[in-house]
Chains A and B, each alone.
Chain A
Amino acid sequence: MTSSKKTIKAARYGMTIDIDRCNGCGACMVACAVENNIPPVPQGGDRKGLTWIRVYKVDNGAQGADRRSAFVPMLCQQCGNEAPCAHVCPQNAVEIDPATGIVGQMPERCLGCRYCMAACPYHARYYNWWDPAWPAGMERTLNPDVAPRMRGVVEKCNFCHARWHAAREQAAADGKPDTEPVNYVPACAEACPTHAIRFVDLNQTSVEGFRMLEKLGTEPKIFYQSKRDWVRQIAEAPRPTANGSKQGKEASRG
């Protein structure tokens, strides 16, 4: 599907997320659902929801007054090297866009085997257990730039790719050369009231921070930042280090 001629300067989009600035408000989660036509899933609890970006609460493992918590927004980490989901998909429904570096999920090609969900070490992929249902009349508020998905397919964050398209169309209308990178920002980064989530082009900006489960070698493009040591250690832990803060829910660590 690719050839040698490049028409635009390739970008490598990523994010920095400052955990010390995240107050767990969840505005990013709601903004994502608004932009990407994600329906509300009131049934099934937190294991069957569709939360392309999900804020987890983590803590330092201490009890009582010494306990300290932090909020970590988790979304598709846009693996830069051998994305596990792309590897395992039997349908070739996952493709990495050379122009943007975005790991694209094609729900129209997906057959719902959920192998990618098992492969993703970040639990960033979500399955449509039901057909999308919005309260009567609320379909009027759907975003025409994103296609709603039917039941039986997997979906995940694609950095609001529709906004990239819209930005490129605007640039074309403005007569800007095709090679100039466009200014676009995904819904979560735009919505974050504390600017904890910042969207960057890693080809243009160098960033600092740690990444989740770096030892797996997936080279994620989401860089997390925190001044607290115990938060940085969360990124290494393959299993939760302390009791889950909510009984009965999947122990929520990165």
Chain B
Amino acid sequence: MKLPKSITAIVPFVAGVLLALAAGWTAFPRAIYRAQRQPVNFSHRVHADKAGQKCDDCHSFRADGTFAGVPTLDKCSGCHAVPMGNTAEEKAFIDRYVTPGREPQWLVYARQPENVYFSHITHVKLAGMKCETCHGNEGATDGLRAYQEDRVSGYSRDVFRSMKMDDCVDCHRRQGMDHSCLDCHK
């Protein structure tokens, strides 16, 4: 069957559009990210269940109100100077990090650009927000998911998903908060 000329004329164009859509929505996301493994496959669930810890046992506030973020090695060494369980992962951790006193280079999913200022204490203590609201239910996870690093800019896929400036501003607007640029930038 011979198609009318007008249809034939736009076929290449439409084909191009469809190709681009397919590539852009499937291949591009896969290509732009590089999966990095965390130095240790840390299990939040084990520490929450077996060790009975809550978020702020390790991710705590200092006396001056600043947030300690991902804990440093001394927090882990406090308990893991000797193996607490019997997993190979823990033994590897002790051999590679605790014994030589080397800080694990954790990849922080929520890492923001240098000019961003986020005050944890304002959100947690003053606004009463829960950790899960922004960070998801990390406490129930059995291992650390791979850090999907954007090849060009270096930031994590998690930031692009739900921790962009627009996401923060949306929440501020929903809460009816008065704010200005310097509140969140330094």
Contacts and interface: CB of A to CB of B under 8 A. Distances in A.
Contacts of A6: 178
Contact of B121 (A3, A158, A172): A172
Contact of A158 (B125, B173, B178, B182): B182
Contact of A5 (B113, B122, B169, B177): B177
Contact of B185 (A99, A100, A108, A178): A108
B180 A97 contact: yes
Nearest to A8: B178
B3 interface: no
Interface residues of A, number: 36
B114 interface: yes
A145 interface: yes
Given A106-B181, A169-B66, A172-B122, A3 B176 contact: yes
Interface of B: 61-66, 113-115, 117, 119, 121-122, 125-126, 169, 173, 176-183, 185-186
Given A3-B173, A106-B185, A169 B179 contact: no
Contacts of B169: 1
A147 interface: yes
Nearest to A171: B65
Interface string A148-184: 1000000000100110011011111110001000000
B186 A146 contact: yes
B186 A5 contact: no
B169 to A, nearest CB: 8
A151 to B, nearest CB: 15
A97 B178 CA distance: 10
B117 A178 contact: no
B186 A161 contact: yes
Given A95-B181, A95-B182, A173-B63, 15 more contacts: A1-B179, A2-B180, A3-B176, A3-B177, A4-B178, A5-B176, A5-B178, A104-B185, A145-B117, A146-B186, A147-B115, A147-B186, A169-B66, A173-B64, A173-B125
Most chain A CB atoms below 10 A, which of B113, B115, B180, B182: B182
B48 to A, nearest CB: 25
A53 interface: no
Nearest to A162: B186
19 contacts: A1-B179, A1-B181, A5-B176, A5-B177, A5-B178, A95-B180, A98-B180, A99-B183, A106-B185, A147-B114, A147-B115, A158-B182, A168-B122, A169-B65, A169-B119, A170-B65, A173-B64, A173-B125, A178-B126
B34 to A, nearest CB: 24
Contact of A102 (B121, B122, B182): B182
B182 A104 contact: yes
Interface in A1-18: 1-7
A254 interface: no
B178 A99 contact: yes
B142 to A, nearest CB: 33
A107 interface: yes
Contacts of A27: none
A185 interface: no
B114 A148 contact: yes
Contacts of B176: 3-5
A124 B156 CA distance: 38
B178 A7 contact: yes
B152 to A, nearest CB: 17
A162 B183 CA distance: 10
Contact of A1 (B61, B114, B122, B180): B180
Nearest to B120: A169
Contacts of A166: 64-66
A99 B180 contact: yes
Contacts of B62: 173
Contact of B181 (A104, A146, A148, A171): A104
Given A147-B114, A172-B121, A165 B186 contact: yes
Nearest to A103: B182
Contacts of A146: 186
Contacts of B182: 95, 97, 100, 102, 104, 158, 161
